[in-house]
Amino acid sequence: MSTTPTADAPVSITDANASLAIHCRGLVKRFGKFTAVNGLDLDVPQGAFFAFIGPNGAGKSTTIAMLTGIYGADAGRIDVLGHDMRRNPLPAKARTGVVFEELALFERLTGRQYLVFCGQMYGLTRDESETRATELLELIELTHKADTLVCDYSKGMRRRLAIAAAVIHAPDLVFLDEPFEGIDILAGAVIRELLKELKRAGTTLLLTTHVLEIAEKLATHAGVIAQGKIIAQGPIGDLYARHQVNSLDQLFEKLIGAPRAAGVRLSFH
């Protein structure tokens, strides 16, 4: 029997897992009686740039919270970087970076102090943290704001800083939840370049975004989630062939349906 994974079918649980940065099966998260994540299976190969897409409320952020150990799961198995996240999350957490949708930064530190603090939290020495902070501030084009308090940063600057903080320990896996939401063009361009650089360095990335054009340029793999379940996943080329589409937009439309506003007409024009 062939064990070759198909585009929508997750790979089987065996040696293939060794090459997966994220492997989860039957993941469930309930909030009271409401089931936000409902038996989710996800496979993200090492080195992949994985676009995790789906409508609002589909369960993307809740899934990321479980994959990063912020929320406990109600059921299922989660392996991250070869470690069982439900039993022994620390080794995976040490090699992971995450930028949540809602940022919680330390407002009374300067950008530089914040980066150095995060570096040390991840186990870097003070010297290493300072060297990397300087390099990262350059990369995110915030050197001129390095000594300004975080509370005086704009939304775009905060997002850039949060991403820099999440990668200061050179993690193997980075989660980015809606990094392009509500920011200006400059911040968007800087973040795109940073993502390209992480991809080039071989970092595994899982990105959620509504900006499918950006995801499409970078993604090697995608997963589509609706109502707490994965309805398609795999390498981009396989997904397009299987669903007879040639963009993430079309894939989204085919699997989820056109945005509801598409047919809306103004009566007064």
**Residues 11, 23, 49, 61: which binds ligand ADP (CB under 6 A)?**
61
Smallest separation (angstroms) from ligand ADP to the CB of 181: 11
Is 251 a residue that touches ligand ADP (CB under 6 A)? no
Torsion 76-82-86-89 (CA) sign: negative
Nearer residue to Mg ion within complex by CB, 52 or 114: 52
Q: Using an 8 Å Cβ cutoff, are 116 and 133 in contact?
A: yes
Going by the DSSP 8-state scheme, the letter that residue 19 receives in this structure is G
Nearer residue to ligand ADP within complex by CB, 61 or 129: 61
Is 59 a residue that touches ligand ADP (CB under 6 A)? yes
> How far out from the chain centre does Cα 182 lie?
17
Smallest separation (angstroms) from ligand ADP to the CB of 119: 28
**Residues 42, 43, 53, 54: which binds ligand ADP (CB under 6 A)?**
54
| Residues 154-213 within binding reach of Mg ion (CB under 5 A) | none
Smallest separation (angstroms) from ligand ADP to the CB of 81: 22
Give the integer Cα–Cα distance in Å for 111 and 96.
21
Is 66 a residue that touches ligand ADP (CB under 6 A)? no
**Residues 58, 116, 137, 187: which binds ligand ADP (CB under 6 A)?**
58
SS (H, E, C) 139-154: HCCCHHHCCCEHHHCC
**Residues 4, 56, 244, 267: which binds ligand ADP (CB under 6 A)?**
56
- Which tokens sit at 222? 């995608």
Q: What's the Cα-to-Cα distance from 102 to each of 34, 53, 79, 98, rounded to whole Å?
A: 22, 18, 25, 11
**Residues 22, 43, 62, 174: which binds ligand ADP (CB under 6 A)?**
62
Burial class (CB in 10 A: 0-12, 13-18, 19+), 177: buried
Residue 150 binds which entry of Mg ion, ligand ADP, none, CB below 5-8 Å type-dependent: none
Three-class secondary structure of residue 85 per DSSP? coil
Rg (CA), the chain: 19
Is 123 a residue that touches ligand ADP (CB under 6 A)? no
Is 215 a residue that touches ligand ADP (CB under 6 A)? no
- The binding site for Mg ion (CB under 5 A) comprises 60-61
- The binding site for ligand ADP (CB under 6 A) comprises 31, 34, 36, 54, 56-62
